[in-house]
Structures are given as C-alpha cells and as structure tokens.
Amino acid sequence: MGKRLFINIKELYGILPLEVTRLQGEMMDRVESLPNAYLLVEEGKIAAFGKMENLSLDEMKGVEVVDLTGKRVMPAFCDSHTHIVYAKSREQEFMDKIAGLSYEEIAKRGGGILNSADVLRNTSEDELYRISCERLEEMMEKGTGAMEIKSGYGLNLESEMKMLRVIKRMKESYPILIKSTFLGAHAVGREYVGRQQEYVDMVCREMIPAVAAESLADYVDVFCDKGFFDVPQTAQILSAAAKYGIRPKIHANELDVSGGVQVGVDYGAVSVDHLERTTEVEMKYLKGSSTMPVMLPGASFFLGMPYGNAKEFIKSGLAVALASDYNPGSSPSGDMRFVWALGCIKMHLTPNQAFNAVTINGAYAMGVADKVGSITVGKEAKLIVTKEIPSLGFIPYCHHTPFIERVII
Ligand SMILES: [Zn+2]
C-alpha cells in the first residue's frame, strides 16, 4: 500500500475534526464540505485533503493520481446494528405474513428467531461463514465501510460461539472494520422455553465467561422488551458482562416502553437501539449520557411499525444514528443508502441530518468514531466515490438510481 492522490473532486463531504466523535442537536444538520478538492491516501489512511488550488503536484512525484472530475466523495457508511450471520433466509414467513397468518402460525411453519436458531445449529461453521460473507460483500459494494454484527441465532453455548467465531473470521478476512456483539439473550433457547430465568442464569454463568475467554465479543446485547427479557434480567446480564469489561448495546423500546433505555444508560451502553416507542422520560434519561440512540427504519418499513421519533430527539439536543438491522425476520436489507432515504422520507430528517446519522453517529454507536465516519486526517480511508450526481441530497431523494462509482475500503 503506497500513496494515492484523488484530484478534482467535485465536492468532499463529511469533514470533521478528530475530537468530534458524534453530532448532536442542531449540529446534526451541518455537513462540512469542500468543493474542488483533493484527498491524499497513504497506507490506507487519509493523509491530507484540501482545495485543488492549494495542491502542489511537484511534491506528489511518484504518487498514483486518480482524476475524479465531476465526482463527489463521502465517508463510507457506518452500520452499527446488524444480524448478518444467519443460516437461512425466511421468505416463506414473508409470504405467510402477506397471507395474514398470525405470529404463532408463522412460528409453526418455520418462522421466528427459534426456527432461525434450529437451522443455524444444524449448519457447519464453514457454511455459515460462506453465506454470511456473501451478505458482507454485498454491503461493502453498497458502500458500507464499518459495521457491527451480532450473535443471537444460536441460543446455546456451542452455537453462539460458532456465530462469534464466524464474525471473528470475517474481521480477519476483510478490510471492512467489524465489531462483534454477543446477543445470547435474543430469545430464550428452545430447551429453556418456560424457564426464562434459568436461561438468563445460564447466559451469565456459562456463555459470558466462555465468550470473554476467547475475546469473541466487543459488546453485549439483550433484547429488553415485552415478551423477551425484562429490566432485572437485562441488568443481570449487563453486570455479568461488565465483570469482563464488555460494554452493552441494547435492543430497547421496539414493542413497548420497556425500561431498556434506562438500564442501558445505567450500565454505560455505547448505544440503545430500536426506540420506536419512546417518551420524554427516555429522552431526558439519554441527555448528558454517553449513549447513542440508534433507530432502525428498515425494520419499521418492513414490519409496518411506527418509526422512531428522530426529529424530536434531535430537537431536544440529542444525537441519533441510523442502522440497517439487517436480519432475516424484520429487515432483510443491509443497504444503508435506503436507510438514509427512509430517514428522510419516513422520519422527516433532512438529508444532512440523516447523512450524519449513517456516518459519524453510526461510527460512535459502535465505538469506532476515532477511526471512521468522517473525512479527517489520520482516519481510515473508507470512502464512497459517487457518480456525477447533482448534489448530496440527490442520493436519498432519487433513492434507487445507482449513485456509487466506486467504494474504497
Ligand atoms: Zn436487531
């Protein structure tokens, strides 16, 4: 890896100082940019950028030069919430839902988390790795440069470890930045149905120490919601993980006002995710905390659920990140450009606000804002070069017109 100089960039977007790791409130509507710019990449990092008129080509002898006349450059997307390691898609469930079947009937026909777990347990690690990589590669082509991936379709020790080992292999094999999250408490494993507390005890006693012993998880997650895990159980799991220094990211307030936001903030969660159902109480609790609220419009779109009230969050001075929630049941897409568009079309965010939500704030929500998410000297050069489009806002507006010329990861 040597030096590469991109010249004649029509406009360079998402410029931030290194010390800015998230954008909150009014700041979310600002996207710092530079027209007619150059950008120098050295050893995979952003080494310099500036106006073309200030570039001295004499100093760039021997550097590979790429002319981007007419094209725009922005940081690659940062997708802080995905479940892309799974064994089998669930289009049968999709059709059953269209036919109006109930959740119970769908589960009987092979839908839901527990059925995903059954299939995953019977899939080898190599096969699981192969099909998960196909999803990862598609996401990279669509402009994602950093992402978080969760376990949670194993629901027993052996299969949760299998999922986390697959994520580890992906980390080692791809240039994209990956963070892994242990989500043993995604649902109660089939063997423990009706014995939920025993399952939680087992997660704390067996799974977390095993995961920590192999350093397989950067974060711990719990589905803290109605019908899944309650606040005391969530606190029990978070405190077991805290003993190993593993910080939480939480599924909260998707199905009900669950108390998940508060328990997440209390345990220093890096993010609290979903938030389709939140009140002023949750917003107040988040104020002044280091926790990023993450909303997942792809799941709202796919399930016909309410969207998170991002506008109110931002109005109250909070930050918001948007992520894909790529998973087989409620959001079978990892297209962050679509997430950006949904942020504008359905959540009424400005293109600028939603841009910051899918770049720097997404990076913050997985603890990598010091490495990616903006155009900053020293950060990794994970970039999207656009086709010749009229503006940044054109990307979420004309949301199905191909806009990527190339992705640099
Ligand atoms: Zn999720």
Parallel, antiparallel or unpaired: strands 247-252 and 45-51 = unpaired
Q: Cβ atoms within 10 A of the Cβ of 377, count?
A: 14
Spacing, Cα 328 to ligand 1 middle (Å): 10
Q: Please write the tens of the pLDDT for every residue from 358-387.
A: 999 999 999 999 999 999 999 999 999 999
Spacing, Cα 331 to ligand 1 middle (Å): 9
C-alpha of 114 from chain center: 23
Q: If 0-12 CB within 10 Å is exposed, 13-18 middle and 19+ buried, where does residue 372 land?
A: buried
Q: Please write the tens of the pLDDT for every residue from 189-240.
A: 999 999 999 999 999 999 999 999 999 999 999 999 988 999 999 999 999 9
Spacing, Cα 274 to ligand 1 middle (Å): 8
Spacing, Cα 359 to ligand 1 middle (Å): 19
Spacing, Cα 170 to ligand 1 middle (Å): 19
Using pLDDT thresholds of 50, 70 and 90, give the confidence band for residue 178: very high
Res. 111: pLDDT tops 80: no
Q: With residue 337 as reference, give the H or E element that holds it.
A: helix 336-345
Spacing, Cα 43 to ligand 1 middle (Å): 34
Q: What DSSP letter does each residue of 342-408 carry, written as one string?
A: HHHHTT---HHHHHHHHTHHHHHTTT-TTTSSSB-TTSB--EEEE-S-S-STHHHHTTTS--EEEEE
Mean pLDDT confidence for 245-258:
93
Give me the phi and psi of 340, to 5 degrees please: -55, -45
Residue 107 has a pLDDT of: 75
Spacing, Cα 382 to ligand 1 middle (Å): 24
Interatomic CA distance for residues 298 and 285, integer angstroms: 25
Spacing, Cα 81 to ligand 1 middle (Å): 6
Using pLDDT thresholds of 50, 70 and 90, give the confidence band for residue 106: confident
Res. 58: pLDDT tops 70: yes
Q: Please write the tens of the pLDDT for every residue from 279-323.
A: 999 999 999 999 999 999 999 999 999 999 999 999 999 999 999
Spacing, Cα 251 to ligand 1 middle (Å): 6
Spacing, Cα 173 to ligand 1 middle (Å): 24
C-alpha of 82 from chain center: 6
Residue 2 has a pLDDT of: 84
Spacing, Cα 34 to ligand 1 middle (Å): 36
Parallel, antiparallel or unpaired: strands 3-13 and 33-42 = antiparallel
Mean pLDDT confidence for 134-156:
98
C-alpha of 9 from chain center: 28
- Residues 330, 296: contact at Cβ < 8 Å? no
Tokens of 406: 């190339």
* pTM score above 0.95: yes
Spacing, Cα 223 to ligand 1 middle (Å): 8
* Look-up of token digits 């450009």: 337
Mean pLDDT confidence for 390-398:
98
Interatomic CA distance for residues 378 and 94, integer angstroms: 44
Residue 61 has a pLDDT of: 83
Res. 268: pLDDT tops 70: yes
Tell me the CATH number for domain 3-76+374-408.
Answer: 2.30.40.10
* Beta bridge partners of residue 386, listed in sequence order: 404
Res. 149: pLDDT tops 80: yes
266 three-class SS: helix
Spacing, Cα 48 to ligand 1 middle (Å): 37
Calculate the average pLDDT of the chain: 96
Spacing, Cα 14 to ligand 1 middle (Å): 27
Using pLDDT thresholds of 50, 70 and 90, give the confidence band for residue 59: confident
Spacing, Cα 82 to ligand 1 middle (Å): 6
Half-sphere exposure of 361 (CA within 13 A, CB side): 32
- Residues 269, 291: contact at Cβ < 8 Å? yes
Spacing, Cα 47 to ligand 1 middle (Å): 35
Provide the residue type at 246 as one letter. Answer: I
Tokens of 402: 């191909």
Spacing, Cα 327 to ligand 1 middle (Å): 7
Domain ranges for the chain, please list them. Answer: 3-76+374-408, 77-364
77-364 topology per CATH: TIM Barrel (3.20.20)
Res. 80: pLDDT tops 70: yes
Spacing, Cα 203 to ligand 1 middle (Å): 18
Interatomic CA distance for residues 409 and 406, integer angstroms: 10
Interatomic CA distance for residues 379 and 370, integer angstroms: 7
Spacing, Cα 303 to ligand 1 middle (Å): 13
Residue 115 has a pLDDT of: 87
Residue 1 has a pLDDT of: 59
